[in-house]
Structure 1
Amino acid sequence: MYTVIGATKTRTLRVMWLLEELGEAYEQEPANPHSDTALQHNMLGKIPALIDDGHSLTDSVAIMTYLADKHGKFTAPAGTPQRAHQDAMTLWLIDEIDATLWTNTRHKDALPGLEQQMHDRYAQSLKVLSNRLQSEFLMGDEMTVPDILAAHCMGWAAGAGFPPLDDKLKDYLKRMRARPAFRAALNH
């Protein structure tokens, strides 16, 4: 059984959602960032962490990639062109959307004008994302790790008052959040 370290209303939700999609058992220690529990598993005090077979794994995207690879689901096989495309999408989401949200969350009060810049950047990235969404899921007809990352970021952005989604992305997010695994993780 896996142990997930971190509060649900953080990036920890991404890991829990994937575990639910995989049908894997886990227990959660709902630690906050920089708590004693978080510091035991990540010297920076960041969450989430995943405990598997005595190993503390950190960073939500690294953990999701590990779990998807380990279980052979929600990912393209390593070493394939499809995986390279999937990894490119994941890294783009981290660089353009997740980083924008994180920068805003962390620094908006300290840097005048930053919040509007981050909102503008997010809106630009959403246009690109909407254009890239050509199927039911980001990578085609099957859900992959980038879908969890994108949907989590869109929810985070909505809660932080970022610009609204276009109709295509609204429908996508609604489908993603209607998944039983998302609901289970959220209510864990």
Structure 2
Amino acid sequence: MYKVYGSVASRAFRVLWMLEELGETYEYHDTKPQSEAARALNPSGKVPILVDGDAVLTDSTAILTYLADKHGKLTYPAGSVERARQDALTHTLLDEFDAVLWTAARHSFVLPKERRVPEVSGSLKWEFARNLDRLAERFVGPFLQGEQMTIADIICVHCLNWAFGAKFPVENERLLAYTKAMRGREAFKRVRALSEG
């Protein structure tokens, strides 16, 4: 059985959602970043952490890719043009959404106060809005690549939820409708319920 270490409020949400979509059983360990439990499995103290037997895997995207390939779901086959496009989309989301949001978080509360540059917030919100418009132009529907949900959808919706919470502009009607539909998925709701229980 898989074991997932992290908190629902972190990128561990992505891994938990993936496992719910796959219908795989897992043990969830509510573990804060930099905690003793996290450092025991990952010297950097970062979460999420997935334990599969003797293997300890880190980084949410690496974990999602591993699970998708292992179970042959939520991904296109390796070596296909569709997979190359999926990977390109995944990297775009990490670069243009996740990285922007993480930079904002670091300068809001993560870094020591004397190392923060709060003035960067306006620039990051502008960049995020520009990137969101570009993504909307590429959006096919009902999922990012059309008829098949992939790990890119999990990363995208997690980032858009993060953006809502961080008060970043998410104003594109098509992407708002997409996010609402994805949040309505039973697997998503089951993970959300972990933070409420």
TM-score grouping bracket, smaller chain normalisation: over 0.9
Match of 2:37 in 1: 37
- Rounded Cα–Cα distance in structure 2 between residues aligned with 1:42 and 1:128: 35
Match of 2:113 in 1: none
Taking structure 1 as the reference length, what is the TM-score of the superposition? 0.98
Describe the superposition over 1:80-104 as per-residue Cα deviations: whole angstroms up to 9, x where unpaired. Answer: 1111100000000000000000000
SS in 2 for 1:187: helix
Match of 2:159 in 1: 153
The percent identity for this pair of structures is 47
Aligned CA RMSD, in angstroms, stands at: 0.9
Give runs of ≥4 in structure 1 deviating > 2 Å: none
Deviation of the 1:20 alpha carbon: 0.2
Deviation of the 1:40 alpha carbon: 1.3
- Rounded Cα–Cα distance in structure 1 between residues aligned with 2:40 and 2:6: 12
Deviation of the 1:108 alpha carbon: 3.8
Paired residues of 1:108 and 1:114 also in contact (CA < 8 A):
no
Deviation of the 1:112 alpha carbon: 3.7
**What residue ranges of structure 1 are gaps of 5+ in the alignment?**
none
- Paired residues in the alignment total 188
Taking structure 2 as the reference length, what is the TM-score of the superposition? 0.93
Match of 1:181 in 2: 187
SS in 2 for 1:28: strand
The letter for the 2-side match of 1:180 is: E
Trace 1:17-166 onto structure 2 (pairs within 5 A).
17-108=17-108, 110-166=116-172
Describe the superposition over 1:142-185 as per-residue Cα deviations: whole angstroms up to 9, x where unpaired. Answer: 10000000000000000011012311011000000000000011
Deviation of the 1:42 alpha carbon: 1.1
Q: Which moved more, 1:41-50 or 1:101-110?
A: 101-110
